[in-house]
Each structure stands twice: as C-alpha cells, then as structure tokens.
Structure 1
Amino acid sequence: MFSEIGQLIFDNEAVAKTQDFTMGLEIEMQRVDENGELSKEPYPAGVGDERTNPWVTNDFLETMSEVVTPPAAHALDAMHYLFGINNALRTALAPGELLWPLSMPPKLPQDKQSLLLAKMGPKKEAYLKEWLKRHGFAEGTPCGTHINLSIDPRVFEMVYPHLKERFKNRTELENYMYTKIAQGFMRYRWLITYLFGASPIAEVNYFEHDEGPANPIRSVRQSSYGFGTKFVGDYTNVQRYVDRIEQGAKEGTLISDYEFHGAVRFKGSGKLVDLPQSGVKYLELRMLDLDPSSSVGVRTNTLRFIRLMASYFIMTPALHEEEVSRVLARADQMNEEVATESPDDMCKYQTNARAMLASLERYANQIQLGPEYQEELEDLEDRVENPKTTPSARLTAHIKNGSLSEYALKRAKRYQNSALQTIRPFRGFESQEKLSASDLKNQLFKGNWDPDTDK
C-alpha cells in the first residue's frame, strides 16, 4: 500500500508527522441586508482597511468579505481562529447587515453595473475590470472555503537523506511531494463534490436566458456552471504546472498567471515562474462549497477529512507522469457528472466512493488516528449509501419557489445574533494597524485559547 516514501516514513515511525499539516483557511461570504439582497453599506470600518488588513479583506465585489486565518498546526486551532475573526467581522457589520451562508450569491440586481468591485489597489482593480469584461459580474460572485496546507518540514528532514540519489536537492523532493498531494485531490475532487457539495441552485439573475440547470444539482459552484475561468491546469509536475499557466497568459487565454483558479493551486514565496527553483511552500485547495450548517462556512470534521486525504496521498504511490494527464482529464469529467447529478440520486460513482472511503478507513486504522476520524468516516460512508443525507440534498428540502433565500436568511440571522452576544467583541482591527499573526493571536484569544502555531 505504501510508496517508497511512505514506507520510509512508516519505518521511521514518523507517520504522525504526515498529519501535522500547517493549515490556514480563507472563507468568502457576501454581505447582505435583511431582505436577502447584496448590501449597499460601505465596507465595515470596524475591521480596518480592506486593502491592508490581512485577516479580513474582500474579493471581487465590495460586498464579498473574506476572512483569512494565520497558519495553525491543528484543525481545531484553525477553527478557533476562524470563529474569532468571523465574529469580529460580524460585530463590525452595520445594523441589519448579515453574512450570506451559501456559496451561490443572493438574488442579484437586474442591472449588475450597479455592483461595486472590491477596493484592492490600482493593479488588482485593473485586473478585476478586465476579468469583468471577459466573464461578467455573476461568475465572480460564488463564495467558497479555501484550505491552505503545508507539509510539516520534519517530514522532508527525515525523508531527504534517504533519497539523495533520486532527488538532486531538497526543493525537488518538496515539489514532488506537494505534486503527489495535488494530483490526489484533483483525482478525487468528484468525491469531495459528492460529500460536501452544497450549492444546488442559483438565485434570481445569476443566470441569464435560462442558461442554468433546469433542476437542482449537487453543486452549481463546482460544475461547469460555476466560477469564471475554465482553464485546465497541468499537474504532471511543478515545472509543467508553471509552463501551462505561463503559456495561457502569453496566449491571452488568461489575463495573467493570477487568473488561474484551479481546484488546487501550488503556492510559493515569490513569482510563479520561479516556483520550480524556489519551491512550493503550500497548496491551496479550492473545491469546498460553504457549509451553511456552520456559522463559519466549514466544519472541523471536514478539515480533519481533508487532512486525512492529504496524509494518505503522501503515503501512497503517485501516478506515473505519463498517466497524469489522462487520469485527471477523466477525473474532471467525473466531477462534472457528480456535480450535475440530482442531489437525491445515488451517485453514479458510488462503488468508487465506497472503495476510496474504505481505503482511507484502513489507513486511519493502520496509523491509529483515533475515534474522531473513525466517526467522521462512518458519517461520510452513510452519505455515500444515503444521498439524501448529503448537504446539497438537505438544502433542497428548504427550496421555496425556486429559492433558498428564506432558509439562508434564517441561518444568517441566527449566526449574527450569536455573534452579537459576544461578551468581549474583538476591536483590534479598528486601529488600522496591520496586526501580525502573533499580535492577532494574543489579542484575539486573551488567554482563553492557545492555538498551536509552532512546529
């Protein structure tokens, strides 16, 4: 079952370190009013300057708030950061303002020219205007959960001395291991869409001229009906990933390399073109819809499952390079089929889903991850057998007159009321000073929580 690298990790009793991903979260939500329309209020002054605050910013539209957490060592720590910053945003909203809990936006105005693009500085605003010309307002409005995963450096330190003949330097090993994980998530994106898809419909004026699906589907956002650019990346290796994006920008298919919004993105510390030499530092996973059953858009158990998948991909064999393109092209097609299935229907790839979850369960048991992982896997196995228990199917029960607005507003008001009951709301963003991760940690938790951010 284990690859060469996986066996090395296992033999050196370092499997636990493959679970120690540093995790950062980015959660987008639209600001709306109590009628379920995009807010006309200015960006909340209580969260500082949207262009300089790294922890609460915006994206595409002025109403699209984005909460960003510092990197944390554990899923629960990341969630505490997320909850604290999300509450800080909520308590800064204008009276009557709410955060829309669904990935697909609320009803959009017929005249979308009235919508304001995000204030992101001259360079990014010019990019947004060009993007708008190519794609239109609606395609930029879906929101989601982005997970940033970084491998524990101790894994590289342990593995590299044994593989110096195979990898000319440590950066090459790091790129290889991040590529393995990226390929795994791209290969099984369809499973994540099935298990966590939560955007069965779009609201009024998202689609024009009856362009959308005729009936509810598992995930509008994760289907071809969803977000903007449909440019396909190359995940064979880091160099080919970069070359593909650079070629797309050169040919004008992409505005710039910034426009590549694949379900997985390699992230480094410098320019994209230098990535093969400077090295991948983390992966950005972009395939999760917002979970409206959580005030922060994602559940802790979901993050644990994502970490389990990433650990499994580290430990198991990678695809042969000559197979990557074909396998991932098929995976893209599988994802489209799953995303556009009726939420109540049995998944076309149910047998494949059973097999993958069984492999993950065996792996979790082999390395003795603990009852929380067993419980989550059992819940997900139930979703595979009973599609009506999936998030998207549960949402369809709340559709009224072709809309989820009543349900979304009910959840949004509940979450907002909870945030406003905070005994000591966070005011640390009001000074307009840029808070470091350390300052944020000290001010946000005030001794009642101590996130593990250090390795």
Structure 2
Amino acid sequence: MFSTIGQIIFDNEAVAKTQDFTMGLEIEMQRVDENGELSKEPYPSGVGDEKTNPWVTNDFLETMSEVVTPPASHALDAMHYLFGLNNALRTALSPGELLWPLSMPPALPADLDEQRSLLAKADPSKEEYLEEWLNRHGFSEGTPSGAHINLSIDNRVFDLVYTYLEDRFENRIELENYMYTKIAQGFMRYRWLITYLFGASPIAEKNYFETGEGPANPIRSVRQSSYGFGTKFQGDYSDVQSYVDRILQGAEDGILISDYEFHGAVRFKGEGPLKDLPQSGVKYLELRMLDLDPSSSVGVRTNTLRFIRLMASYFIMTPPLRPEEVGKVLERANQMNEEVATEIPTEISKYQTNARAFLNRLEMYANQIQLGPEYQEEIEDLEDRIENPRTTPSARLVNHIKDDSLVEYALIRAKRYQNSALQSIRPFTGFDIACNLSAEDLKLQLFKGNWEPGMDK
C-alpha cells in the first residue's frame, strides 16, 4: 500500500509527522444588510486598512471580506485563530450589517455602473486587474465565496526522506516539489468526492444568471461546477515546471490576464515570481475546492479540516500516478467533478461506488497508522453521507429553499452568528491601532489568556 517514500516514513515511525501539516485558512464572506442585500456601508474601520491589513482584507468586491489566519500546527489551533478573527470582523461591522453564510452571493445588482462601484478598493494595479476581470468574465462570476486551506508539509518529513533518497533527487527542493506534486495530484483526482461530501451551493440568487441560463434545478454545487467561479483555464499538475509553464503560456496567449488569474482548485504557492517556483521551491499548497459551510459561523468545520489533513497524509504515503497517466486521469477527474457538482443533491451519486471505495481505503489507512477516534468518527459520518445523500450539506440546504431562494435561511443563520459574536466577552480589537501585526504577535494577542496553541490536533 505504501510508496517508497511512504515505507521510509512508516519504517522510521514518522507517520504522525505526515499529519503535522502547518495549516492556514482563508475564508471569504459577503457583507450584507438585514434584508440580505449587499451592504452599502464602508469597509469596517475597526479591522484596519483593507489595503494593508494581511489578516482581514477584501477580495473581488468591497463587500467581500476575507479573513486570513496565521499558520497553525493543528486543526483546532487554525479554527481558534479563525474564530478570533471572524469575531473581530463581526464586532467591527456597522449596526445592521451581517456576514452572508453561503458561498453563492445574495441578490446582485443588475446595473453595470452599480456593479463597478462595488469592486474592491485596492492598490492601482489590483484595481486595474479587477476592471479587466470584470470586462472579461462579467460581474457574477467574481462573487462566489469559499473556504481556502493552505497546507505545508512538516520539514521533518523532508529531512527524513531526503537522507534516504538523496541520490534520487538533485537537491532537496526537487524532493519538496515532487512531494507537493503528489498531494496536488491526489486532491485534483478526488476533488469530485470533496464536492459531493461538502458541496453547499445548490442554487444562485437573483441576477447571478441571465434569464434562461443556469441549471434548471438545485444541484450539489453551483460554485464548484462550470456555472461557478471565473476562468475555466485548466492547470497542468504533471510536475511543478509543467504547472508554471502552462500558466505563463496562458498569460502570454492572453487567455489569462496574468499568472495571478489562475484560480485552479489546487495552487502551488512559493516565494517570489511564479516563473522561479521550480527553482525556489513550493512552500505550500492552496486548496480552493470547499464551499462555505453555513452550519458553521466561520464557514468551515474542524472535522472537515481533519479529513483534508487525512487525505493529504494518505497522498504522501501512497504511490503517485505514473507520469504518463497524469493528464488522462486528471481530465477524467475534472469530468467526474462536473457530473457530481451538477447532480440533484438529494439523489444517489453516479459515483457512489467510487466514493465508498475511496473512503474504505482511507479508513484502512487510518487504522493502519492508528489515528485517534476523532478520525474514525469523521470517516463514519462521511460514509453515511455517501449512503444517504439527503445528509449532505447541499441536500440539507434544499429543504430551506423558498420561492427559489435561500435568503430567509441565510439571514436566520447570519443574525444568529452575529448576535453570538456581539456577546463575546473580549473580542480582538487590535487592528484599530496597528494592522501590520506579525503572525506571532497576532497569535499572542488573539488568545491572550484563553487558549494555548498546540493543545489539540
């Protein structure tokens, strides 16, 4: 079952280190008023300058707030950082403002001038980019929100593997790129399963689609389907060099505005320009395939993060795709994701057997490396979603659709989460003094006296 790298890790009793991913979260949510319309209030001054604060900023729209956590060693730490920042944002909102808990936006304005006025305020180069993006893709496609997970492999894993395989790689960076590529291929290959298990955008609200466009019925995930976000440019995950070459070629050919426009479900991230990535090395992966979970005030659940970590660990330990198979397998996986995303949420998936087989394999892996009961419980819960599609997030949302809209449900959730945040005994307010806080300073100030990072995995 294990690959050469996996066997080295297993034989050296270092499997636990493959669970110790450094994790960062980026959660986008729209600011709305109590009627469920995009807010007309300015960006909350209580969270600092939207152009310079790296921890609470904006995205495509001025109303699209994005919370970015400092890196965390454990899933619970990441969630506590997210909860603290989410509360800081909520308590800084103007009276009557709420955070929309769904990935698909509320009703959008139809007027073009009003749409342009909502574009995010940023530095001139980003504002120019947003204008060009709007001209190319239209307003709607920039408005869906999601939960992004950044994963970085523990350096001790690289240290161990490199001592055994130094002769197979020119240098350590080549090994690191190889291992990140293995994980990226795994997530792209099984993206369809994540869409099935966690998809939570069955419909779009008014003015997202032009009349006569869009799906004819609720689906599992509008956002993760071809109806969803922005450019449909496909990445090349054969290796890091191929990934870079394809994106740069897309920018040169004018298919992409710039390399920044590549918004694949998985992105390789490093330091410096994209063209230097093969030499400078991948530092982490950005996973972009999760819809917001409206059952959580922060848009994602701890158990979901644990499952993503389990998948990543499994991809490290098991054999990769053969190079000549990558293109064909991932092309099929993209098609599977489209089919799953556009299925009726309450019905059994066409790929139920495939999903059942993969979760069985993950369960065997979790048992083999003796993970804790929380992983076993999460797998059992997800197995139930496979057998009973009505328990999936998207199917649950279908129960709340009224007059082809989820606005009533979304506002009930939004008001509940907002009221809870306003009752916080000690919300973080440090951004109104200084927004250029380092990650370490932010961690200390977020949890002064009420949380000790590293308490739980």
TM-score category (smaller protein): over 0.9
Q: 2:336 aligns with which of 329, 334, 338?
A: 334
Secondary structure, counterpart of 1:8 in structure 2: helix
Matches for 1:54-69 after TM superposition, within 5 Å: 54-69=54-69
Letter in 2 for 1:77: D
Q: TM-score, normalised by structure 1?
A: 0.99
Contact 1:23/1:149 (8 A) holds in 2 = yes
Cα distance in 2 for partners of 1:36, 1:220 equals 19
Query: Residues 396-435 of structure 1 correspond to what in structure 2 (within 5 A)?
Result: 396-435=398-437
CA RMSD between the two structures: 1.0
Q: CA deviation at 1:452?
A: 3.4
Alignment of 1:275-314 (within 5 A): 275-314=277-316
Tell me which residue corresponds to 1:360.
362
SS at match of 1:229: coil
Q: Summarize deviations over 1:406-454 as a string: whole Å, max 9, x none.
A: 000000000000000011121100014411111111211112112239x
Q: Tell me the TM-score normalized by structure 2.
A: 0.98
Q: In the aligned structure 2, how far is the partner of 1:38 from the partner of 1:9?
A: 50
Runs of 4+ in 1 over 3 A off after TM superposition: none
Matches within 5 A, 1:164-179: 164-179=166-181
2:27 corresponds to 1:27: yes
Would you say the 8 A contact 2:84–2:427 is kept in 1? no
The more displaced of 115-124 and 355-364 is 115-124
Match of 1:96 in 2: 96
Q: Distance in 2 between matches of 1:393 and 1:293?
A: 13
Contact 1:145–1:286, Cα closer than 8 Å, also in 2: yes
Partner of 1:239: 241
Q: Report the Cα distance in structure 2 between the residues aligned to 1:324 and 1:433, rounded to whole angstroms.
A: 43
Which among 315, 323, 326 is matched to residue 324 of structure 1? 326
Contact 1:182–1:264 (Cα < 8 Å) also in 2: yes
Q: Which residue identity does 1:22 align to in structure 2?
A: T
2:198 pairs, out of 196, 199, 212, with 196
Q: 3-state DSSP class of the match of 2:62?
A: strand
Q: CA deviation at 1:112?
A: 4.1
Give 5+ residue unaligned stretches, structure 2. none
CA distance in structure 2 between the partners assigned to 1:301 and 1:438 by the alignment: 25
Instruction: Deviation per CA, 1:80-108: give whole Å up to 9, x if none.
Output: 00000000000000000000000000011
| Contact persistence 1:49–1:432 (CA under 8 A) | no
Cα deviation code 1:10-61 (max 9, x no counterpart): 0000000000000000000000000000000000000000011111001010
For residue 151 of structure 1, what is the aligned residue in structure 2? Answer: 153
Cα distance in 2 between the residues matched to 1:401 and 1:393: 17
Aligned-partner Cα distance in 2 for 1:425–1:241? 42
- In 2, Cα distance between the equivalents of 1:138 and 1:432? 34
Q: Where does residue 184 of structure 2 map in the other structure? A: 182
Q: Aligned partners of 2:113, 2:379: CA distance in 1, in Å?
A: 45
Residue matched to 1:10: 10
In the alignment, the residues of structure 2 paired with residue 426 and residue 11 of structure 1 have an alpha-carbon distance, to the nearest angstrom, of 45
Give the counterpart letter for 1:402 in structure 2: D
Partner of 1:446: 448
Counterpart-to-counterpart distance in 2, 1:405 and 1:112: 23
Superposed counterparts of 1:112-151, under 5 Å = 112-115=112-115, 116-151=118-153
Q: 1:214 aligns with which of 210, 213, 216?
A: 216
Equivalent AA in structure 1 for residue 296 of structure 2: S
Quote the offset at 1:285 in angstroms: 0.1
Cα deviation for residue 224 of structure 1 reads 0.1
Matched to 1:76, the amino acid is L
3-state secondary structure, aligned to 2:431? coil
Secondary structure of the residue aligned to 2:128 is helix
Query: What's the counterpart of residue 43 of structure 1?
Result: 43
Alignment-derived partner of residue 384 in structure 2: 382
CA contact (8 A) 1:47 1:88 kept: yes
Asked if structure 2 preserves the Cα contact closer than 8 Å seen for 1:218 and 1:341, the reply is yes
Q: Deviations over 1:244-297 (max 9, x none)?
A: 000000000000000000000000011100000000000000000000000000
**CA distance in 2 between partners of 1:393 and 1:417 (Å):** 27
Match of 2:78 in 1: 78
Unpaired runs of 5+ in structure 1?
none
Structure 2 residue matching 1:27: 3-state secondary structure: strand
After superposition, the C-alpha distances for 1:307-338 in whole angstroms (9 at most, x for unaligned) are 00000000000001110000000000000000
Partner residue in 2 for 1:271: 273
Contact 1:28 1:66 (C-alpha < 8 Å) held by counterparts: yes
